[in-house]
């Protein structure tokens, strides 16, 4: 196939149904050891990609950068080349004391407090994952006793708004587990395009902690969050195997 996509620089000749969507291009270096027969593909703008196999299932991993707008472009272009199921493996900040550093959140719905998803459909439209893909993630986390929580996340567009502390406090009181910047766009656009989606968020910011300090520790590999990242990669890959074998 020659449908080369302008941003991700990939086309349908890959013949891959499943994709992992981290935000950070560097995270592909930590996904690669989970896979066999790894091939680096492209690196254009924020979109770095590689492919490999996990338990016989072909998997694409592609970074999406920061925010719903760039993640949305990835979803659209991956759909154009035949990808049918996508799992975000990202980071988040905790909005609840029970969500500890390195815990993962399996997102059952997202508050659409972003701009990207709103350009597609009215905000009254829900942002939810594919039920079977979410269930596959839940089963894996339970089977392996991985510290996890299931619930709502909030997607937003900036860490640095003037009222961010009060905004976080508002959503915390509503029972929202954590916040990221991409899940709402992934769920909304994925649904509209007929793509199965799920989002697994690794908590890298302690409840009422400082985002910039925590993310600095995360990048340096000096916190529990690194184990959370390993867990979210494993859960996502196992979920793809379950989907491929019709176990969910």
Rounded-to-integer distance, Cα 180 and Cα 93, Å: 7
213 is catalytic: yes
Query: 168, 145, 167, 163: which is closest to 96 by C-alpha?
Result: 168
Beta strands in 113-231 (DSSP E): 148-155, 178-180, 196-205
Catalytic, out of 103, 122, 157, 213: 213
96 touches 172 (CB < 8 A): yes
Three-class DSSP category at 177: coil
Q: What does each C-alpha distance from 103 to 68, 134, 143, 203 come to in angstroms? A: 23, 17, 16, 6
205 touches 214 (CB < 8 A): yes
- Residues annotated catalytic, as ranges: 213
């Amino acid at each position: 196939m020659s449908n080369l996509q302008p941003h991700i620089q990939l086309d349908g000749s890959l013949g891959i149904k499943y994709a992992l969507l981290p935000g950070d291009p560097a995270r592909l270096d930590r996904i690669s050891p989970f896979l066999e027969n790894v091939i680096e593909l492209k690196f254009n703008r924020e979109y770095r990609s590689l492919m490999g196999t996990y338990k016989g299932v072909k998997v694409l991993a592609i970074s999406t950068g920061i925010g719903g707008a760039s993640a949305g472009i990835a979803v659209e272009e991956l759909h154009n080349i035949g990808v049918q199921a996508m799992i975000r493996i990202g980071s988040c900040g905790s909005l609840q004391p029970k969500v500890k550093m390195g815990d993962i959140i399996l997102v059952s719905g997202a508050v659409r407090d972003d701009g990207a998803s709103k350009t597609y459909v009215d905000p009254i439209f829900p942002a939810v994952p594919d039920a079977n893909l979410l269930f596959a993630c839940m089963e894996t986390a339970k089977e392996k006793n991985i510290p996890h929580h299931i619930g709502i996340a909030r997607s937003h567009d900036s860490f640095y708004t003037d009222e961010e502390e009060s905004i976080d406090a508002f959503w915390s009181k509503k029972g929202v587990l954590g916040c990221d910047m991409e899940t709402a766009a992934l769920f909304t656009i994925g649904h509209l395009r007929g793509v199965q989606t799920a989002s697994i968020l690794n908590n890298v910011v302690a409840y009422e902690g400082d985002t910039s300090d925590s993310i600095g520790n995360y990048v340096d590999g000096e916190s529990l969050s690194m184990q959370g990242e390993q867990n979210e990669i494993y859960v996502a890959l196992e979920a793809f195997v379950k989907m491929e074998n019709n176990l969910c």
